[in-house]
Amino acid sequence: MSYTIALGTVGGGLWVGYNGGEKWRQIQGPMDPESNVRALASNPQNPEHLLASVDGDGIYQSHDAGSHWEQAAELTDRPIWSLAFDPHDSQRIYAGTRPGLFVSDDSGASFTEMETTMSDRCPIGVPRTTNVVVDPNDPATIYASVEIDGLHRSRDRGVTWESLGALGPSEFYNDVHGFTIRNNDAGTELLVTSPFGLGRSNDDGATWDWHEFKPFEGSKFEFAYSRCVRAPWGDDIVIVCVGDYIPGRTGAIEISRDGGETFQRAELPETPKATMYWLATHEELPGVVAATSVYGQIYVSDDFCETWSKLERELGEIRCALIVPTQ
């Protein structure tokens, strides 16, 4: 099965790569081709239905896997850093902003701000909601990760929220970049990334076990800076994007095949020129993953991360990515 790649950039708008990225097209309208696109999402019940956030211009949607777009909602008063469909109800969409969280129950036509436990201030200024994830095993449970304000959870579809508190020994462990949920033999495992590495919790977020990745040569840090995390295929594979810092001068992809106990750095055909930032997978594309660096390099694997190729096309500053199956 072939697939389409969509990439959101800072200052370069939205790009769509057909047939696995062999041919690329910049979306010229109705969204501004020089806009900032910080978040993308695909409808789990209809892979061709996509969402994209545009700074200052709200949310756009496509019904043909990214070829044509129309404005869905004028949510324009703050940047949107994350988008997510509820996998149990595709009419329900979440938009994580800077700061806060909004919800739509009419497929994105209108949004209402939710009352959460998120802070509106943090050590870097204004917190941003980096991920919104609905528990695949429980439609009432929603997680929102915040940079810098940790992990927040609702068990009643967003009516009430709780903070999961400190995730590590300093407040910067609550600088959550990536979040995902993995089903394992013990039940549901929560995975987060912060600048310090990968945190795993098997007790509903009460305690966390942290894994630091080896530093890059010449880095001023004693660990690799971590960004996106995925555990996409219902097995023991966990994938983490790392680099020397942000935006960084080099990066890598860390792969675990034992559920996050140990990791090996992927052998890439070309060393990234910046921190590896985003991972895109799709449940209908087992074994396929696209990984992007901050400064536009794109790597793909179609054999469960055994081997990787680099796409010829390089873009500007990439902030989000997704892949969707096409016929």
Per-residue confidence in pLDDT tens, the chain, 327 aa: 699 999 999 999 999 999 999 999 999 989 999 999 999 999 999 999 999 999 999 999 999 999 999 999 888 888 999 999 999 999 999 999 988 999 999 998 899 999 999 888 777 778 899 999 999 889 899 999 999 899 999 999 999 999 999 999 988 999 999 999 998 777 789 999 999 999 999 999 999 999 999 999 988 889 999 999 999 998 899 999 999 999 999 999 999 999 999 999 999 999 999 999 999 999 999 999 999 999 999 999 999 999 999 999 999 999 999 999 987
Q: How confident is the model at residue 183, as a pLDDT?
A: 85
pTM strictly above 0.85: yes
By the 8 A CB rule, do 279 and 261 touch?
no
Structure tokens at 228: 């996106």
